[in-house]
Amino acid sequence: MGTSRFVALYEVPWELRCVGKRIPFSMVDKTAKKAGSKTKVTAAPEETASSPALVRPSLKMLAAHLGLSASTVSFVLNDVPGRSIPEVTRERVKAAAREFNYQPSLIARKLQGQRVNTVGILLPELGDGYHSQLIGGAGDWLMQQGFFYFTVHHKHKPELVSAYPEILEARGVEGILAIDTSLEKNIHLPTVLVAGHTEHRNISNIILDSHLGAELALGHLYELGHREIVYMKGQLVSQDTQARWAATMDVADKLGLKVEESMIIRLEQDSHSPEIGYPGIKKMVMDGKRFTAVVCFNDVAAMGVIRALSDCGLRIPEDVSVIGYDDVQAAAYHVPSLTTIRQPLRKMGEIAAMTLLDKLAGKQTEHILQVEPELIVRESTSAVHETCWTTRDLSAAVS
């Protein structure tokens, strides 16, 4: 068993750091001499080929290793113009930075007034089709423009929605892109909100034309002969719920469609699983409610509705037509494939990212940017059939 040796380990500041690089003792020892009173001596295990010392070098450590001043190294790594530093010296600095995987801290750069090209994305949930398409559009544009992003999810918890903007700012982000998030208070950083709306004047809102979406959905069913329709209202936590429901009720009234309380399903569970659409529609069938179509809050709920109707012995669309909303990627591959109102989700994400970068560049941006939905007709809707289940004995349909 080898004896331990003591080496001076310089306390690495936040300002500049190296990620995951093991530094030879020669570099640490050289830095320790330069560090003077700012070093502290701690015991380190014996240096071997398999376990070299693990130290994250600071700017001063890198400079001492190269035998250069810290300012010279900083000028090279930050490409400061107007400095007559020989090209051979620049190459030495960059080679050492690559060797030790040296990276400047985003926070330090921001404190120095430099751009860090980093934004934060705030959203309720990670992984579901709706949010992933929005992030995909935003992320692609940000990367094309040389920006990075941090993503945090809050599950609609007010304390997290309130805290995350400050946490992200403390991590050095320059702006925030919020998705389906209720922003009750103003945010200090430039902010863009997708799927939601706030009156804060410094926040730009990317919203869908909900009224057009309702016209497309109900108009499609109306033309197919449907009059006995079940309406689904989204969860209160969703920022789309109120606008989408108000538009649906307005269009239904203009078309002369009756909306009875007993034919309304109100989603309550905060979930992005098809299970949210299953129990409400199954209960309606078992309670003897008769209808020929269901207008769902989103595609995920529509998939649950279709499964519930199928479990009750009903055929889609011969007995009941089902229409979704969003056009998530799974909608086209579901059986039957889902008729839906398409939100241009990737495009909305891209517009949001473009708007946020315009804000960061000091450009004037619109308070509200509205995009239009599109009706996508697939297999889950059809004209009312003469043999529809409403004309048959109910017990045969649910047996």
Span 67-73, average pLDDT: 86
Average pLDDT score, the chain: 83
Q: State the Cα–Cα distance between residues 62 and 35, nearest whole angstrom.
A: 12
Q: How confident is the model at residue 117 (pLDDT cuts 50, 70, 90)?
A: confident
Span 134-161, average pLDDT: 93
Closest listed residue to residue 382, CA positions, set 226, 219, 255, 215: 226
Residue 310: predicted pLDDT: 97
Bridge partner residues of 10 (DSSP): 39
Span 346-367, average pLDDT: 96
pTM greater than 0.85 (yes/no): no
Q: Tens digit of pLDDT for each residue in 360-397?
A: 999 999 999 999 999 999 999 999 988 777 655 555 44
Q: State the Cα–Cα distance between residues 164 and 232, nearest whole angstrom.
A: 31
* C-beta of residue 342 within 8 angstroms of C-beta of residue 298: no
Residue 234: predicted pLDDT: 96
Given a cut of 50, whether residue 127 has pLDDT beyond it is: yes
Given a cut of 70, whether residue 105 has pLDDT beyond it is: no
Residue 272: predicted pLDDT: 83
Closest listed residue to residue 332, CA positions, set 303, 310, 304: 303
Span 231-244, average pLDDT: 94
Q: Lowest-pLDDT range, 271-275, 283-287, 379-383?
A: 271-275
Given a cut of 70, whether residue 330 has pLDDT beyond it is: yes
Q: State the Cα–Cα distance between residues 14 and 32, nearest whole angstrom.
A: 18
341 versus 100: the higher-pLDDT residue is 341
Bridge partner residues of 177 (DSSP): 121, 192
AA letter at 97: A
Cα 186 vs. chain centroid, distance in angstroms?
20
Q: Tens digit of pLDDT for each residue in 158-200?
A: 999 999 999 998 888 999 999 999 888 888 899 999 987 778 8
Closest listed residue to residue 327, CA positions, set 351, 352, 298: 298
Give the count of beta carbons closer than 10 Å to the beta carbon of residue 385: 16
Given a cut of 70, whether residue 324 has pLDDT beyond it is: yes
Q: For the domain with range 210-343+376-398, which CATH number is right: 1.10.150.310, 3.40.640.10, 3.40.50.2300, 2.130.10.10?
A: 3.40.50.2300
Residue 213: predicted pLDDT: 98
Given a cut of 70, whether residue 38 has pLDDT beyond it is: no
Span 277-291, average pLDDT: 96
132 versus 16: the higher-pLDDT residue is 132
Residue 52: predicted pLDDT: 46
Q: Do domains 118-208+346-366 and 210-343+376-398 have the same CATH topology?
A: yes
Given a cut of 60, whether residue 121 has pLDDT beyond it is: yes
Given a cut of 60, whether residue 341 has pLDDT beyond it is: yes
Given a cut of 90, whether residue 339 has pLDDT beyond it is: yes
Q: Where are the domains of the chain?
A: 5-111, 118-208+346-366, 210-343+376-398
201 versus 315: the higher-pLDDT residue is 315
Phi, psi of 353 (to 5 degrees): -65, -40
The full 3-state SS of the chain, as one line of letters, equals CCCCEEEEEECCCCCEEECCCECCHHHHHHHHHHHHHHEEEEEECCCCCCCCCECCCCHHHHHHHHCCCHHHHHHHHCCCCCCCCCHHHHHHHHHHHHHCCEEECHHHHHHCCCCCCEEEEEECCCCCHHHHHHHHHHHHHHHHCCCEEEEEECCCCHHHHHHHHHHHHHCCCCEEEEECCCCCCCCCCCEEEECCCCCCCCEEEEEECHHHHHHHHHHHHHHCCCCCEEEEECCCCCCCHHHHHHHHHHHHHHHCCCCCHHHEEECCCCCCCHHHHHHHHHHHHHCCCCCCEEECCCHHHHHHHHHHHHHCCCCCCCCCEEEEEECCHHHHCCCCCCEEEECCHHHHHHHHHHHHHHHHCCCCCCCEEEECCEEECCCCCCCCCCCCHHHCCHHHHHC
Given a cut of 60, whether residue 108 has pLDDT beyond it is: no
118-208+346-366 CATH fold: Rossmann fold (3.40.50)
